[in-house]
């Protein structure tokens, strides 16, 4: 019994760490316009819209985070092998991984922007100076929390994978959850906030991203401020729920029956199916169709 | 609306890069064998240099392949390269001194099968598909083998699965504290998978220049060497690891500065804290 | 040198070429024969498991609703990320669960892997709809079909002007969960088969106990499972050329091509992974 209570505590802590990681990950990638919204930042100058947005195209989010977290975990593992205290090792490993992330971010911006010379998009190096540091800070939070979570899974819950391999697995999952949840909010609601609310962006509007702010010109820090309001926390909840349920179903129900975690997992999936269906129906009822069908137009 | 992938023309022909990359990485990786011959660990960093040369070649291959438009992102090419390469590299590693050559052959077989499947079964029908996936698998294998050799000082399998830990002042041999046992190979896998595709992914566009892309590839290679050199402190003696770290840092600073200079050369304008320059005639 | 050819953009699905089919069958048979010759019955069973795992991964990728870049603007339905990467996220989360449950036996571990992958996709897909509905005020609508095959909802009137649909209709949600579960199942299957082989062979070769080499066996099986997962996922992504809405998408009918390609590619990569330890100590 005591073991289960201890396990539940670790599960809750891991879930909390994952929530922070997801929120930081999405905010970081939106400040850098990484992932799929990047295509619009890349397209805008070709359509004649010169902008001052950070264009940080480092692969997709899942592989990029797979690298940052695996790297942080690998370095932390190496420091621990050198008899350094685990907490210090994780901090040092994450800091070095963030250094690699920062360098990749600058080279991506310089490369993409220099290749757009034909369309008159200049390189604004003040963007690099002011925004790389902000993305690095967010990335540090995401990497540190994820590596710490992985370390907990091994040392407290006894997962068989070594730390770097676990970092790779959860890093890719973190990137997948963060990009899936957070990207549409940044891509549609922020890049195209001049378009109508409650509708997708018409394909004809592609590239016409918002480039001016309330005062002056928009930069990516404004985007981070916006993402932190909904996209980031939602990504955090998404990743936190994934980690929490994944651990919870095993830690609590494995003692009862070895098939317990699987049955509970299926039940959780069904619960989410009901939630999803409810949201979908609620949206259809509340928002209504865009063009009323003929027979219903009274 | 997806971004059309465009690349610049001209530069060094691909076949020349292929030969330099293949021979260069093979020779450099064999230089790490000096460790075994001389009984030291000072030559470990040659493994990292082999990975740099292989990545230069792989970047040019990705540029050729992706200029056809795969329908999915550039990063996926890096994933399939390292996914097939890691099998080749580790299989090769079990064959002792023949490791690099066997790794190349095995990776080429897996890459060829993947390429044939992509063209003849999935029907991508891209003329350079088979050759490109063979090249990418070899590049992936050489990158994994090179960086792994850099981390533990040898490209032989038994060296990769054994390490030592110091318990109460005694050095004890263990399988857990090793490149494979500690899954450092997973870190090397991801380092290679991002480094191989980043330079082309970052430089694509109508103004792409081969010298700038390749400089970035070298930068990515040296940048990947830095964490591997730090990890290698856990496996090899202090001074050899320090030499490896110094080589990586110096190489990285040089290529990074050069890359920034080349970006400055190719950029439309290089501005600091200036407003948006609206194009003539308005947006 | 932009887009010289690229995949043929014809309307129907091009069947695999005769050569491709024959080649894949020959490769699978040769690999199976080699596995039997090298590691006897255990090797044959393991290779069959790896091939089935690869096929499950490639098949599962076709279920995952991925909209790529347009989905991030509400221009196309699906999840706004790359198809191979999202599948990898789900499959590897499944691998996490499967590897954890490995001591409880084969069936429990496989089921654990499948549920782990499905759980990740269930939560992610739900959160995608939460963002679309509560963050952006957009109801879900498919662009490829007029009616949801499961719920019977109609879509054309819920599709905003100038887009191909948006959000995740329920059929795509179900597809995502099935895809994640199949990916987790396939990844775990490859991992378990390789783990069995290495745990049986490594102690004999190195003359140590199973506990001592556990981390080496787990790391090797884990990294090969990741590598083969990515290889099969990318081949499947090439097959669906980037984006797909789920099982109701017309592109879904292309899956036999990816299944054949993944079977042959997994067979070849798998035989090298199985035979990995055959040469240790020979040279």
Give the residue among B31, A183, A41, A53 at the shortest CA–CA distance from C85.
A183
Q: Is B194 on the interface with A (CB under 8 A)?
A: yes
pLDDT tens column, B123-170: 888 888 899 999 999 999 999 999 999 998 888 888 888 887 777 777
Type and span of the H or E element at A124: strand A123-124
Taking the CA of residue B273 and the nearest CA in chain A, the distance in Å comes to 5
What is the per-residue pLDDT for B96? 84
Residue C186 confidence class, pLDDT cut points 50, 70, 90: very high
Q: Is A51 on the interface with B (CB under 8 A)?
A: yes
Taking the CA of residue A121 and the nearest CA in chain B, the distance in Å comes to 6
- Token digits of residue C45: 């069973």
Q: How far apart are CA A283 and CA A281, in angstroms?
A: 5
What is the per-residue pLDDT for B222? 96
pLDDT tens column, B236-269: 999 999 999 999 999 999 999 999 999 999 999 9
Q: Per the confidence metrics, is the pTM higher than 0.95?
A: no
pLDDT of residue C95 exceeding 50, the answer is yes
User: Using a CB-CB distance cutoff of 8 angstroms, which residues of chain B are in contact with residue A100?
Assistant: 223, 226-227
Q: How far apart are CA C199 and CA B80, in angstroms?
A: 27
Place of tokens 């077989």: B109
Give the residue among C127, C92, B75 at the shortest CA–CA distance from A177.
C127
- Token digits of residue C62: 């076709």
CA-derived radius of gyration, chain C: 21
Q: How far apart are CA A242 and CA A181, in angstroms?
A: 13
What is the per-residue pLDDT for C3? 37
User: Using a CB-CB distance cutoff of 8 angstroms, which residues of chain A are in contact with residue C132?
Assistant: 184, 283
- Token digits of residue C42: 């255990």
Q: How far apart are CA C261 and CA A214, in angstroms?
A: 53
Please report the DSSP string for chain B in residue order. -PPP------SS-HHHHHHHHHHHHHHHHHHTTHHHHHT-STTTHHHHHHHHHHHHHHHHHHHHHHTT--SS-THHHHHHHHHHHHHHHHHHHTTGGGHHHHHHHHHHHHHHHHHHIIIIIS----TTHHHHHHHHHHHHHHHHHHHHHHHHS--SHHHHH-EEEEETTEEEEESSSSTTTTTHHHHHHHHHHHHHHHHHHHH-STT--HHHHHHHHHHHHHHHHHHHHHHHTTTS-HHHHHHHHHHHHHHHHHHHHHHHHHHHHHSS-EESS----PPTT--
Q: How far apart are CA B144 and CA B138, in angstroms?
A: 10
**Phi, psi at residue B172, to the nearest 5°?**
-115, 135
Q: Is A205 on the interface with B (CB under 8 A)?
A: no
Antiparallel, parallel or unpaired: β B163-167 and B170-174: antiparallel
pLDDT tens column, B103-124: 999 999 999 999 999 888 888 8
pLDDT of residue B283 exceeding 60, the answer is no
Residue C115 has a CB neighbour count (10 Å cut-off) of 30
Mean pLDDT of all residues in C109-136: 94
What is the per-residue pLDDT for C7? 45
Enumerate neighbours of A (3 or more CB pairs within 8 A).
Answer: B, C
Q: Is C27 on the interface with B (CB under 8 A)?
A: yes
Contact flag C283-B118 (C-beta cutoff 8 Å): no
Taking the CA of residue B72 and the nearest CA in chain A, the distance in Å comes to 11
User: Using a CB-CB distance cutoff of 8 angstroms, which residues of chain B are in contact with residue A167?
Assistant: 186-187
The domain locations on chain A are: 2-255, 259-287
What is the per-residue pLDDT for C86? 84
What is the per-residue pLDDT for B257? 96
pLDDT tens column, B28-83: 999 999 988 888 889 999 999 999 999 999 999 998 888 777 767 788 888 889 99
Contacting residues for A56 by C-beta, under 8 A, at least 6 apart = A32, A33, A34, A38, A105, A108, A109, A135
State whether residue C242 is helix, strand or coil.
coil
Mean pLDDT of all residues in C208-224: 90
pLDDT of residue C10 exceeding 50, the answer is no
Q: How far apart are CA A175 and CA A153, in angstroms?
A: 19
Residue A297 confidence class, pLDDT cut points 50, 70, 90: very low
Name B171's bridge partners: B166
Question: Crossing angle, helix C106-130 and helix A260-287, to 10 degrees?
Answer: 20
What is the per-residue pLDDT for C80? 84
pLDDT of residue A28 exceeding 70, the answer is yes
Mean pLDDT of all residues in C195-204: 90
Region of C244 (left: φ > 0; alpha: ψ -120 to 50; beta: rest) is: beta
Q: Is B174 on the interface with A (CB under 8 A)?
A: no
Contact flag C85-A266 (C-beta cutoff 8 Å): no
pLDDT tens column, B211-229: 999 999 999 999 999 999 9
Which residue among B80, B96, B119 places its CB closest to the CB of C234? B80
Residue C55 confidence class, pLDDT cut points 50, 70, 90: very high
Nearest CA in chain A to C128: A181
User: Using a CB-CB distance cutoff of 8 angstroms, which residues of chain A are in contact with residue B270?
Assistant: 122-123, 125
What is the per-residue pLDDT for B140? 95
What is the per-residue pLDDT for A215? 85
Residue B5 confidence class, pLDDT cut points 50, 70, 90: low
Which residue among B73, B78, B206 places its CB closest to the CB of A115? B206
Least confident window among A73-82, C78-87, C186-195: C78-87
Contact flag A50-B278 (C-beta cutoff 8 Å): yes
State whether residue A212 is helix, strand or coil.
strand
- Token digits of residue A214: 């309330």
Give the residue among B181, B109, B87, A73 at the shortest CA–CA distance from C226.
B87
What is the per-residue pLDDT for A16? 96
**Phi, psi at residue A121, to the nearest 5°?**
-90, 110
What is the per-residue pLDDT for A296? 45
pLDDT tens column, C143-160: 888 889 899 889 888 888
Q: How far apart are CA B205 and CA B4, in angstroms?
A: 8
pLDDT tens column, A214-254: 888 898 888 999 999 999 999 999 999 999 999 999 999 98
Give the residue among A60, A273, A297 at the shortest CA–CA distance from A183.
A60
Q: How far apart are CA A223 and CA A221, in angstroms?
A: 5
Mean pLDDT of all residues in A277-298: 76
Mean residue pLDDT across chain A: 91
pLDDT of residue B205 exceeding 90, the answer is no
Type and span of the H or E element at C87: helix C83-100
Q: How far apart are CA C255 and CA B271, in angstroms?
A: 50
Asked if A173 and A242 touch (Cβ cutoff 8 Å), the reply is yes
User: Using a CB-CB distance cutoff of 8 angstroms, which residues of chain B are in contact with residue C281?
Assistant: 158
pLDDT tens column, A259-287: 999 999 999 999 999 999 999 999 999 98
CA atoms within 13 A on the CB side of A94: 25
Asked if B139 and B40 touch (Cβ cutoff 8 Å), the reply is no
What is the per-residue pLDDT for B281? 57
What's the sign of the alpha-carbon dihedral C211, C216, C217, C218? positive
User: Using a CB-CB distance cutoff of 8 angstroms, which residues of chain A are in contact with residue C214?
Assistant: 160
Residue B2 confidence class, pLDDT cut points 50, 70, 90: very low
Taking the CA of residue B154 and the nearest CA in chain A, the distance in Å comes to 18
Asked if A191 and A209 touch (Cβ cutoff 8 Å), the reply is yes
């Amino acid at each position: 019994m005591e073991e289960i209570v201890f396990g539940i505590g670790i599960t809750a802590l891991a879930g909390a760490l994952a929530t922070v990681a997801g929120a930081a990950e999405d905010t970081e990638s939106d400040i850098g316009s990484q992932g799929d919204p990047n295509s619009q930042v890349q397209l805008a100058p070709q359509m004649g819209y010169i902008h001052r947005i950070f264009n940080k195209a480092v692969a997709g989010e899942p592989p990029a985070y797979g690298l940052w977290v695996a790297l942080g975990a690998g370095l932390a593992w190496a420091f621990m092998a050198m008899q350094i205290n685990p907490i210090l090792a994780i901090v040092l490993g994450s800091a070095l991984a963030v250094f690699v992330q920062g360098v990749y971010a600058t080279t991506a911006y310089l490369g993409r922007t220099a290749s757009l010379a034909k369309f008159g998009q200049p390189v604004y190096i003040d963007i690099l100076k002011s925004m790389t540091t902000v993305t690095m800070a967010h990335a540090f939070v995401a990497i540190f929390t994820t590596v710490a979570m992985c370390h907990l899974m091994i040392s407290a819950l006894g997962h068989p994978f070594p730390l770097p391999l676990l970092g790779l697995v959860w890093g890719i999952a973190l990137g997948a959850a963060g990009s899936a949840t957070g990207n549409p909010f940044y891509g549609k609601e922020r890049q195209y906030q001049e378009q109508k609310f409650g509708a997708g962006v018409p394909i004809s509007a592609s590239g016409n991203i918002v480039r001016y702010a309330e005062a002056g010109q928009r930069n990516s820090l404004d985007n981070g401020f916006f993402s932190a309001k909904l996209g980031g926390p939602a990504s955090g909840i998404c990743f936190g729920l994934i980690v929490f349920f994944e651990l919870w179903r095993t830690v609590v129900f494995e003692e009862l029956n070895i098939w317990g975690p699987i049955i509970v997992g299926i039940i959780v999936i069904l619960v989410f199916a009901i939630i999803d269906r409810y949201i979908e129906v609620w949206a259809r009822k509340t928002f209504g169709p865009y063009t009323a069908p003929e027979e219903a137009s009274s | 609306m997806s971004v059309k992938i465009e690349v610049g023309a001209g530069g060094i022909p691909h076949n020349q890069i292929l030969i330099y990359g293949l021979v260069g990485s093979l020779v450099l990786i064999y230089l790490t064998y000096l460790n075994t011959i001389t009984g030291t660990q000072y030559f470990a960093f040659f493994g990292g240099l082999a990975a740099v040369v292989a990545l230069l070649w792989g970047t040019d291959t990705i540029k050729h392949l992706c200029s056809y438009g795969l329908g999915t992102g550039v990063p996926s090419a890096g994933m399939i390269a390292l996914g097939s390469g890691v099998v080749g590299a580790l299989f090769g590693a079990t064959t002792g001194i023949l490791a690099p050559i066997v790794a190349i052959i095995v990776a080429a077989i897996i890459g060829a099968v993947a390429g044939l499947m992509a063209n003849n079964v999935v029907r991508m029908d891209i003329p350079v598909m088979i050759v490109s996936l063979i090249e990418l698998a070899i590049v992936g294998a050489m990158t994994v083998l090179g960086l792994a050799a850099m981390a533990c000082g040898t490209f032989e399998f038994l060296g990769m699965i054994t390490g030592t830990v110091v318990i109460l002042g005694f050095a004890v041999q263990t399988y857990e504290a090793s490149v494979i046992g500690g899954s450092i190979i997973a870190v090397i896998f991801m380092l290679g998978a991002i480094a191989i595709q980043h330079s082309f992914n970052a430089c694509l566009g109508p103004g792409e220049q081969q010298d700038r892309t390749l400089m970035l590839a070298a930068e990515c290679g040296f940048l990947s060497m830095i964490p591997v050199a730090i990890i290698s402190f856990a496996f090899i003696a202090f001074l050899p690891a320090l030499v490896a770290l110094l080589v990586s840092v110096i190489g990285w600073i040089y290529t990074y500065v050069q890359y920034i200079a080349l970006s400055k050369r190719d950029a439309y304008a290089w501005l600091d804290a200036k407003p948006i320059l609206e194009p003539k005639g308005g947006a | 040198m932009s887009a010289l050819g690229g995949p043929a953009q014809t309307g129907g699905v091009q069947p695999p070429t005769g050569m491709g089919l024959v080649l894949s069958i020959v490769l699978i048979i040769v690999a199976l024969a080699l596995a039997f010759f090298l590691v006897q019955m255990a090797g044959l069973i393991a290779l069959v498991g790896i091939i089935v795992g690869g096929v499950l991964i490639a098949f599962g990728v076709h279920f995952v609703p991925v909209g790529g870049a347009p989905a991030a603007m509400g221009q196309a339905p699906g999840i706004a990320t790359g198809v191979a990467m999202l599948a990898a996220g789900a499959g590897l989360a499944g691998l996490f669960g499967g590897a954890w449950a490995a001591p409880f036996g084969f069936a429990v571990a496989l089921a654990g892997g499948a549920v782990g992958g499905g759980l990740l996709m269930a939560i992610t897909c739900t959160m995608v709809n939460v963002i679309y509905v509560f963050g952006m005020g957009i109801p879900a609508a498919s662009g490829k079909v007029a009616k949801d095959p499961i719920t019977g909802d109609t879509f054309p009137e819920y599709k905003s002007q100038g887009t191909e649909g948006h959000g995740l209709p329920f059929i795509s949600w179900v597809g995502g969960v099935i895809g994640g579960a199949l990916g987790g199942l396939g990844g775990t299957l490859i991992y378990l088969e390789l783990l069995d082989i290495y745990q049986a062979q490594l102690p004999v070769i190195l003359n140590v106990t199973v506990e001592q080499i556990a981390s080496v066996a787990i790391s090797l099986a884990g990294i090969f499972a990741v590598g083969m997962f990515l290889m099969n996922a990318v081949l499947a992504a090439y097959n669906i050329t980037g984006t797909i809405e789920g099982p109701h998408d017309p592109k879904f009918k292309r899956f036999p091509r990816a299944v054949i390609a993944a079977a042959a590619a997994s067979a070849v990569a798998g035989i090298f992974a199985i035979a990995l330890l055959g040469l240790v100590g020979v040279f």
